[in-house]
Structure formats: structure tokens, C-alpha cells
Structure 1
Amino acid sequence: MPKGLQKTRKKINKKGGDIHALHENSRDSMRLRRASNRDEKLKRVGTAKRKDNQPLIVRAAYFQEAVRKNDGKELTMEQITPLIEEFVHQHDEEFSEVKSQRRPGRPSSTREDVLRIKIAKDEKEWENGFYLPDLTIPDNAIYLDRWDGTWSYLPTLKWVTIAKNGTVKPSSFPPKGQT
């Protein structure tokens, strides 16, 4: 939570006088406005950043569950491939349900469009290289099992991209131009 406005108010109060009796264009009122705008901007930027980070947190949580089902041990490529397929096609059922509820001749709903875009994006990523934590390394599997769901812990994991044809490439976190 930004504290710039509170600190600015405190400094102005220490100077003496009532903070509510400031002139509209005085230096102190301008300082208060700048501090308030700065706090609002920090909140907006933080909210946008958390929204951008959410898909990777959801992805890591999905693969964390897979590692936990395997008792915190590493997975083989034969085990990882169906997990990726399941993750990529997780919205297919909802998409077909939304599509079937639409009356013939009607335009698609916003939810249907969003699901179509998500499915296409995930399938394209699976073709080119799906970004996920490296589950074939024992230490990485242990770290992912211990993960507490925060963004700040994710860079400690090793990440890879796995293409549909089976090629595995090491990657960095956060991904550049992916997901």
C-alpha cells in the first residue's frame, strides 16, 4: 500500500496549522495533490502487474498439483506431455457448452470469444514451445512442491519450453514474448 500521501500529510501537519485550511493553489496543497496522484498511479500499476502475472501463477499451480500427486518427485516426459495436453484443452468443454447455448444465427458472446482466443493461444504455444517449470529435475520438483503461491518465488525455479514435437529448451523467468 503506497504511503506517500500519509507521509506528506504528516510533514505538512508538523509545520503547524490546519491541513484543511490550506489555500487551493498553495505549495502544500500541490504537494498533497502530487502525493495523492502518485499513490493512485502506484495502485493502478500494481493491479495491472498482478493481472498480467496471474496466468503464470495459475500455470505453476496446475503443475504443482501434478508434482504433489507424484509425491513431490520429478516427472518423466511421458508424464508431462499428457499434463500439457490437459492444460491446453482445459477450456474446450466450457467453450462447447457456451457455443451450444447460443441460438442459431446469433453472434458469439463475449465469453465465447474469450474462450476461443484462449484455446487458440494455448494451442499455438503448445506447437511452438509450451512454457512451464522444468519438472524433470528432482530439486526443481521439490521447490515447486514447496511453492506457496507467490510471484516472488517463481524465479527460483528452472523453466523450460517443451514443443509438441518433443524438443525441450531451457528458458528464463519471466518469459519474453510468450504466454
Structure 2
Amino acid sequence: MPTTLHKTRKQISKKRNGVVNALHEKSRDSMRLHKAGVRDQRIEKLAAARSKKEQPLGIPSFVHQYDEEYNEAKKARRPGRPASVKEDLLKAKINILEEEYKSGFVMPDLLDNVNVNALHLWEGSWSYLTQLKWVKVNSEGQVRPTSFPSGGTN
């Protein structure tokens, strides 16, 4: 947390024998306090942007891939009629994907160079996937290491 404002306020109060509230609007000390406050706000804003996790771009589009088709099926249905089978199936798919998105998608760890090289060499064999490192990415962008989804028994 930035402390520039606190330090500046402390220096000014020492200089003025503890009275910081009695400053003229355009005085040097009030300008110092204003600059320190602005600096602290800017640093906090940059720190927040830096610490915010980057959301993988493919996951939200994957989760909402059926939204258009579901909305079309919903619009095609007359008011007062029950939902069609297609509409029910699409709604179920959307709900499953959203639940998995909240709990976390299991995917290969693409931040590990060894893992990326192994994926390039992968020829489609199911048993080869157990050798890769896997991570679980949830909707908040948190990444946790995990094991192969099915344990490789399928």
C-alpha cells in the first residue's frame, strides 16, 4: 500500500507543530499533500491492474458457445408453449459448462515449456496425456495444479 501521503502529512505536521488542517488552498504544503494523494492513487491503480489475473480468452467464449443457438430456439417458441427438446438440451449444456467454469476447467499447463513441447509432439494417444502436467482454471482466473481428469483409466 502506498505511503507517500502518510509520509508527506507527517513531515508537514512536524513542520507546523501538529496542525495540518489549517492550510491555505494554494499553499506549498497543500500542493504537496495533493500531489502525494494523487501519486498514491495512481500507484494503487497500477498495482491493482498488475495484480489482476488475466482471464484466458478462450474459456468465456467456450462457455457461451451455445448462447446464440439457445436464444434462437427460445425466440422461435410461441408464448405459452413448453420448451422444445432442443432448447432443453441446449440449456442443460449451458448449465453444465457454467458449473464447470465456476468450479474450474481442467486443462494442460501451457505455462510450462516442457508441457508445451510435449503437446506439440502428441500424436493423439489417450494414454500419453497422463504424462502431462494439468491445471484447473476457475472463473476468477485462479490456477491450481491438479491431476489428469480421469486418472487415465478410461
| Mapped partners of 1:174, 1:105: distance in 2 | 42
Map 1:157-168 to 2 at 5 A: 157-168=132-143
Deviation per residue, 1:94-140 (Å, 9 max, x gap): 21122222222221122211111111111122112221111111121
Considering fraction of residues, name the structure with more helix. 1
Deviation of 1:146 (Å): 3.2
Structure with the greater alpha carbon radius of gyration? 2
C-alpha distance 98-144 of structure 1, shift in aligned 2 (>3 A): farther
Q: How many residues align?
A: 99
C-alpha distance 175-168 of structure 1, shift in aligned 2 (>3 A): farther
| Mapped partners of 1:147, 1:91: distance in 2 | 29
| Mapped partners of 1:98, 1:129: distance in 2 | 28
Instruction: Return the TM-score normalized by structure 2.
Output: 0.56
Gaps of 5+ in 2: 1-52
Deviation of 1:84 (Å): 1.0
Deviation per residue, 1:3-59 (Å, 9 max, x gap): xxxxxxxxxxxxxxxxxxxxxxxxxxxxxxxxxxxxxxxxxxxxxxxxxxxxxxxxx
Instruction: Return the TM-score normalized by structure 1.
Output: 0.49
Whether 1:135 and 2:110 are equivalent positions in the alignment is yes
Map 1:15-34 to 2 at 5 A: none
| Mapped partners of 1:146, 1:103: distance in 2 | 52
Whether 1:100 and 2:75 are equivalent positions in the alignment is yes
| Mapped partners of 1:100, 1:107: distance in 2 | 12
Root-mean-square deviation over aligned CA pairs: 2.1
| Sequence identity percentage | 48
Gaps of 5+ in 1: 1-76
